[in-house]
Amino acid sequence: MALLEIRDLHLAMRSFDGEAHVLNGIDLAVERREVWGLVGDTGCGKSLTGLSVSRLVPTPPGRFLAGEIRFEGRDLLACPEAEVAELRGTGIGMIFQDPTTNLNPAFSIRTQLVDVALSAARRDPAILEGARGRAAQAAAERLAAAMLDRVGIPDAAARLGDYPHEFSGGMRQRVLIAMALIGRPDLLIADEPTTALDVSVQAQILRLIRAMVEEFDMGVLLITHNLGVVAQSCTHVAVMYAGNIVESGPVRAVLTTPLHPYTRALLQAIPTRGVVRGALRGLAGAVPNLIAPPPGCRFAPRCPRATDACRAAVPPPRGEGHRVACLHPGDRDA
């Protein structure tokens, strides 16, 4: 049984213009010690997939049309809210893009970390080794300091009393990672965790997340728009386009022999070493309107290989391991 299994997930979001079909049958399975990169352009549904797993999609305007999200076998979409709330923090940890707005500026790091530790210990006393009352407070502080140390904050015990503004952006993201991991989650959802950070800090944070995967024996869903980040830090990748996973599999296989025309287009748009000026290939056209999406493959209107069959029905994902949802896959340009 996979740690996280998303089956045929359909999500619609209501807006002024109508109801947009933003997730159109997502299938994804994450095992422990796997780091899954979820990539795609703005609005492809990668963040909503992450939010769906932690059940943080507001309903309404969101509406789950079909599918299930199984976390250790339990269907999260069928769980009552209280049960899911309990899972957040202890079962599923989350980190977001902006480390500034996700820490409360009014409290010290100590207060915020201890809070998380104590509430996590209410569900799983083992986190504080069964300590209670005043002993629990002390144990929580020890754990907070240990976690800060573990995520690479120098002189962790002394910095516990500091406030968020006294940390740099990279350090704040480390604090958030410590906070997400303090309840020993089995699954970590990281939504663009390094987008707001400098390149040099980004590399450190990605290394840290990789190291934590081994140490905590967890699975990771890393949501990003940067294929370079995926290549550097993920074991697997799922490429999303307009609410569908168009291609997925082990990261090396997908990125070295991309089979879906969209994956190929994404890779050709990255300015890599040796690409001469003007030779980069952009992707013409625009993302389809998800309120009235085209009936078949949603990429068909922009696809050089599209045929009538593509426009008739959504192609199902095919293949074992390296899966691709395309009727005309291939690793060469047509």
Partner 1 sequence: MLEIENVTKVYPGRQGMFGASPPVTALSGVSLAIAAGESFGLVGESGSGKTTLTRCILRLEAPTSGHIRFDGEDFARLTPVALRAMRARIQIVFQDPFASLNPRMSVHDIVTEPMVIHRATLGLGARQRSARAAELLDLVGLGPQHLHRHPHEFSGGQRQRICIARALACQPAMVLLDEPTSALDVSVQAQVLNLLADLQARLGLTYLFISHDLGVIRYVCDRTALIWRGQIVEEGTTERVFDAPASDYARMLIAAMPEVRFD
Residues binding partner 1 (CB under 8 A): 41-42, 169, 198-200, 202-203, 206, 225-232, 252, 255-256, 265-273, 275, 277-278, 280-284, 286
Taking the complex as a whole, the smallest distance from the CB of residue 97 to partner 1 amounts, in Å, to: 13
Residue closer to partner 1, measured from CB, 120 or 196 = 196
Taking the complex as a whole, the smallest distance from the CB of residue 289 to partner 1 amounts, in Å, to: 12
Helices H / strands E in the chain, number of each: 11, 11
Task: Name the burial class of residue 313, with classes exposed (0-12), middle (13-18) and buried (19+) by CB atoms within 10 angstroms of its CB.
Answer: exposed
> What is the CB neighbour count within 10 angstroms for residue 197?
21
Taking the complex as a whole, the smallest distance from the CB of residue 195 to partner 1 amounts, in Å, to: 10
The answer to whether 211 touches 137, Cβ cutoff 8 Å, is: no
Q: What whole-number distance in Å separates Cα of residue 163 and Cα of residue 74?
A: 38
Residue closer to partner 1, measured from CB, 170 or 293 = 170
Taking the complex as a whole, the smallest distance from the CB of residue 270 to partner 1 amounts, in Å, to: 6
Q: What whole-number distance in Å separates Cα of residue 312 and Cα of residue 296?
A: 5
Residue closer to partner 1, measured from CB, 29 or 267 = 267
- Residue entry with tokens 């450190």: 204
Phi, psi for 60 (deg, rounded to 5):
-70, 170
**Tokens standing for residue 253:** 């296989």
Residue closer to partner 1, measured from CB, 90 or 233 = 233
Phi, psi for 47 (deg, rounded to 5):
-70, -40
Residue closer to partner 1, measured from CB, 90 or 194 = 194
Residue closer to partner 1, measured from CB, 47 or 90 = 47
The answer to whether 248 touches 237, Cβ cutoff 8 Å, is: yes
The answer to whether 22 touches 48, Cβ cutoff 8 Å, is: yes
Taking the complex as a whole, the smallest distance from the CB of residue 315 to partner 1 amounts, in Å, to: 21
Taking the complex as a whole, the smallest distance from the CB of residue 297 to partner 1 amounts, in Å, to: 17
Q: What whole-number distance in Å separates Cα of residue 128 and Cα of residue 94?
A: 21
